[in-house]
Amino acid sequence: MVIMDLTSIQDPSFLKKMSVPELEALGADIRRFLIEKLAETGGHLGPNLGVVELTLALHRVFDSPKDQLVWDVGHQAYVHKILTGRTSQFDTLRQYNGLCGFPKRCESDHDVWETGHSSTSLSAAMGIAIANELKGRADDRAIAIIGDGALTGGMALEALNHIGAEKQNVIVILNDNEMSIAPNVGAMHNMLGRMRSSRKLKHAREEVETLIKHIPIVGNSLERSGERVKDMLKSALIPGTFFEELGFTYFGPTDGHDLRDLLETLEYAKKIDGPVLVHVITKKGKAIARPSSMGSARGTVSDRIKSSREKSLKVKSRDRVTRRSSRRRSRKLPRRTNA
Ligand SMILES: Cc1ncc(C[n+]2csc(CCOP(=O)(O)OP(=O)(O)O)c2C)c(N)n1
Ligand SMILES: [Mg+2]
């Protein structure tokens, strides 16, 4: 179902009036557009297919450009570009004088931070939040959207340290797809894995409180003995303790493809004072065949994207010779991005 002509979108304000099923249908249209368009122009397909619902939800809950969205790396901002009135420019994506593959301030008021390099978004959002406060606009939200790969960068960790200590009003959206340019590795990845497999914090908190009360004999006195003991027990059982210890209110893990869940969680996050981290689980390359094989964050026109597009368009060809020659052709296309 085509819900609307994407080229007619001027700004994201129309999203406020849409029902969840309408938003879902719009998301499907955006995915279809990206798959078809990027097969012609090249571009970062996988990361953008993963953030369709997340971007819709962010633009629905927050008021860009009054609230400022800072995209880390910026390779996942295509859906944001569509929702901020740039669909018709996608024919020129990443070409000379064409639509930039990353946020670009001269393109739109909705692009507030220029990127390409990873792991800068949290510091940028911190700076924006401080500036908002100084300008008497403390209600405007600074929101950083950062991937699990970029979160392991030194600058991002410095910024977590800074934001948590200053208790600044910054919302961090952790877009966790278990991938960087290749599948992620390392201690942070392992920790996020444990959080992913935990229950959602909103429910887990209530459950742990009930659990503590029901521990025979000591339960009620534990409950009365104050926050410290409860906190110790909770930290052993609840996800997000790492971020909470740094001074963030943690929400999640949230299904990044469930619009109802996303909208509800972001509405909660919006109302919190101080630093917030929303842990969103997404799937890189959502809706195309074999997304997990799309290890590259580049997603330039490659044989995999081409063959995914063929599959998604249900063009079935068993002619291996033709496929091999089209792979050879696509390999000759120049790469046009640094990130
Ligand atoms: C300073 C710097 N180092 C390395 C890169 C290369 N790079 C491109 S995307 C990316 C991370 C991608 O992983 P993630 O943040 O999880 O985003 P995803 O693609 O999974 O959405 C990196 C490190 C970069 N852009 N900048
Ligand atoms: Mg990632």
- Say how many Å lie between the CA of residue 180 and the centre of ligand 2: 4
- Say how many Å lie between the CA of residue 62 and the centre of ligand 2: 23
180 and 91 in a common domain: yes
Indicate whether residue 180 lines ligand 1 (CB < 6 A): yes
Indicate whether residue 301 lines ligand 1 (CB < 6 A): no
* Residue 338 is assigned to a structural domain of this protein: no
Indicate whether residue 339 lines ligand 1 (CB < 6 A): yes
231 and 288 in a common domain: no
Separation between Cα atoms, residue 302 and residue 313, nearest integer Å:
16
Separation between Cα atoms, residue 114 and residue 119, nearest integer Å:
12
Indicate whether residue 117 lines ligand 1 (CB < 6 A): yes
Q: What residue's CA is closest to ligand 1, atom 7?
A: 339
* Residue 136 is assigned to a structural domain of this protein: yes
128 and 233 in a common domain: no
Q: ∠ at Cα 147 (145, 153), nearest 5°? A: 105
Burial code of 277-288, b = ≥16 C-beta within 10 A, e = fewer? bbbbbbbbbbbb
Token pair for residue 145?
A: 């959207």
Separation between Cα atoms, residue 170 and residue 164, nearest integer Å:
9
Q: What residue's CA is closest to ligand 1, atom 6?
A: 339
List strand residue ranges (DSSP E) for the chain, in order: 68-71, 142-147, 170-176, 249-255, 276-281
Cis peptide before 253 (omega within 30 of 0): yes
Indicate whether residue 64 lines ligand 1 (CB < 6 A): no
The whole-model pTM stands at 0.83
258 and 226 in a common domain: no
135 and 276 in a common domain: yes
- Say how many Å lie between the CA of residue 212 and the centre of ligand 2: 36
pLDDT for residue 97: 96
71 and 182 in a common domain: yes
* Residue 1 is assigned to a structural domain of this protein: no
Other Cβ atoms less than 10 A from the Cβ of 214: the count is: 10
254 and 200 Cβ atoms separated by less than 8 Å: yes
219 and 173 in a common domain: no
217 and 145 in a common domain: no
Q: What residue's CA is closest to ligand 1, atom 17?
A: 147
- Say how many Å lie between the CA of residue 26 and the centre of ligand 1: 27
Q: What residue's CA is closest to ligand 1, atom 12?
A: 180
* CATH number, domain containing residue 128: 3.40.50.970
- Say how many Å lie between the CA of residue 219 and the centre of ligand 2: 41
* Residue 337 is assigned to a structural domain of this protein: no
pLDDT for residue 338: 47
Indicate whether residue 150 lines ligand 1 (CB < 6 A): yes
Atom of ligand 1 nearest to the CA of 297: 19
pLDDT for residue 203: 62
* 332: exposed, middle or buried (Cβ count in 10 Å: 0-12, 13-18, 19+): exposed
134 and 218 in a common domain: no
**141 phi/psi in degrees, rounded to 5:** -95, 140
261 and 226 in a common domain: no
* 19: exposed, middle or buried (Cβ count in 10 Å: 0-12, 13-18, 19+): exposed
Sites in the chain below the pLDDT cut of 70: 1, 199-209, 212-213, 216-239, 289-339
Indicate whether residue 284 lines ligand 1 (CB < 6 A): yes
The count of structural domains within the chain is 2
209 and 297 in a common domain: no
Strand arrangement of the beta sheet that strand 249-255 belongs to: 68-71, 142-147, 170-176, 276-281, 249-255
Per-residue pLDDT of 260-294, as tens digits, reads: 999 999 999 999 999 999 999 999 999 886 544 44
pLDDT for residue 201: 58
Q: Give the bridge partners for 250, in sequence order.
A: 277
153 and 118 Cβ atoms separated by less than 8 Å: yes
Q: What residue's CA is closest to ligand 1, atom 19?
A: 297
Indicate whether residue 232 lines ligand 1 (CB < 6 A): no
- Say how many Å lie between the CA of residue 161 and the centre of ligand 2: 21
- Say how many Å lie between the CA of residue 153 and the centre of ligand 1: 9
pLDDT for residue 226: 58
20 and 149 in a common domain: yes
Domain ranges, residue 314: 6-196+243-331
Indicate whether residue 73 lines ligand 1 (CB < 6 A): yes
